[in-house]
């Protein structure tokens, strides 16, 4: 599977793996404000390891995708995706995080739009994610991206709990491709 084309953003895109633990850990530490807000813990090398390796038992290892976006060999954004979770043709966004200096600048929107197009072309018909109540800016971002509220649930963490909104979006591009394939 090819990486999304983000040449217009001047980022190089690549799949991250365990060889990238130290670079990802450095990224997480710079983005510590996010991890303290939503996970109630300080970012560390273990945070990077969790991003790369943690997944529900129902998700095969090949369906866990972590993309790194770089400029000048520095990670500026990380996206964690689960393909076909919780069901076939549904993708789950575990993380979309940019360095602080890249936030609120339009990069997140451009990044998500390119990823959404890519996963739609890969057969996704729906995308789901959760947003913690204490992160209202993230919820506003996802709602601007066309996601709608599905339910309010409790997220259990090692250090406590979060109330989260479960959001979803139907991908019309993927549905159109499926429809057209049946029309042939």
User: What does the alpha-carbon distance between residue 103 and residue 120 come to, in Å, rounded to a whole number?
Assistant: 25
- Distance from C-alpha of 99 to C-alpha of 133, rounded to nearest angstrom: 21
- The per-residue pLDDT of the chain, averaged, comes to 90
Residue 91, CA distances (Å) to 106, 124, 171 in order: 23, 6, 10
Residues 6+ apart with CB under 8 A from 161: 154, 155
- Amino acid 4: pLDDT: 60
Q: Calculate mean pLDDT across residues 72-101.
A: 97
Question: Could you tell me the pTM of the whole model?
Answer: 0.90
CA atoms within 13 Å, Cβ hemisphere of 167: 21
pLDDT of residue 168: 98
Please name each of the domains of the chain with its CATH number. 7-183 (3.40.630.30)
Mean pLDDT computed over 27-42: 95
If you average pLDDT over residues 135-143, what whole number do you get? 97
* pLDDT grade for 172, boundaries at 50, 70 and 90: confident
* pLDDT above 70 (res 59): yes
Report, as an integer, the average pLDDT of 139-166. Answer: 94
Instruction: Kindly indicate the confidence band of residue 56, based on its pLDDT and cuts at 50, 70 and 90.
Output: very high
């Amino acid at each position: 599977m090819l990486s999304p084309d983000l040449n217009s953003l001047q980022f190089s895109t690549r799949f991250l793996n365990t060889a990238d633990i130290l670079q990802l850990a450095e990224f997480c530490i710079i983005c510590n404000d996010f991890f303290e807000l939503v996970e109630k813990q300080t970012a560390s090398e273990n945070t990077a390891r969790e991003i790369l390796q943690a997944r529900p038992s129902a998700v095969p290892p090949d369906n866990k995708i972590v993309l790194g976006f770089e400029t000048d060999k520095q990670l500026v954004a990380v996206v964690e995706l689960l393909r076909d979770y919780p069901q076939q043709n549904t993708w789950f966004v575990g993380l979309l995080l940019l360095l602080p200096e890249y936030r609120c600048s339009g990069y997140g929107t451009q990044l998500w739009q390119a990823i959404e197009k890519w996963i739609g072309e890969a057969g996704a018909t729906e995308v789901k994610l959760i947003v913690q109540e204490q992160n209202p800016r993230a919820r506003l971002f996802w709602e601007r991206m066309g996601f709608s509220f599905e339910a309010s649930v409790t997220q259990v963490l090692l250090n406590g709990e979060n109330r989260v909104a479960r959001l979803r979006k139907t991908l019309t591009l993927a549905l159109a491709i499926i429809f057209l394939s049946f029309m042939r």
